[in-house]
Amino acid sequence: SLADAAHIGRLAALVPADARLRPVVVSAMAGTTNALVALGDAAAAGVDWKPGWEALRQRHLETADAFESEAGGPLHVTLETEFAALARDLQDHASGVDPHAHDARLARIHGCGEQLSSRLAQAALGPDWHRLDAREVLVVHAAEMGAVVDWDASRARLATWRLAHGARDVVITGFVARDADGRDTTLGRNGSDYSAAIFANLFDADALTIWTDVDGVLSADPRLVPDAVCLDAMSYAEACELAYFGAKVLHPQTLAPVQSRGTPVRIRNSRNPAAPGTLIALEAAPAASPVKGLSLVRDVAVLELVGNGLV
Ligand code: ASP
Ligand code: MG
- Write down the pLDDT at residue 311: 60
Distance 249 CA to ligand 1 centre (A): 12
**Are 83 and 119 in contact, with CB atoms under 8 Å apart?**
no
Distance 127 CA to ligand 2 centre (A): 26
Is any atom of ligand 1 closer than 6 Å to the C-beta of 248? no
What's the pTM value of the predicted model, to 2 decimals? 0.92
Distance 193 CA to ligand 2 centre (A): 7
CA neighbor of 171 nearest in space, from 246, 75, 31, 258? 75
CA-CA distance, 153 to 158, in Å (whole number)? 9
- Write down the pLDDT at residue 14: 94
- Write down the pLDDT at residue 301: 92
> CA torsion, points 71, 72, 78, 80, in degrees to nearest 10?
70
Is any atom of ligand 1 closer than 6 Å to the C-beta of 190? yes
Mean pLDDT in order along the chain per 10 residues (311 residues): 95 90 96 98 97 98 95 95 98 92 97 98 95 98 91 98 90 98 95 96 96 89 89 90 76 87 95 94 82 86 84 60
Is any atom of ligand 1 closer than 6 Å to the C-beta of 270? no
- Please report the sign of the dihedral spanned by the C-alpha atoms of residue 206, residue 186, residue 63, residue 127: positive
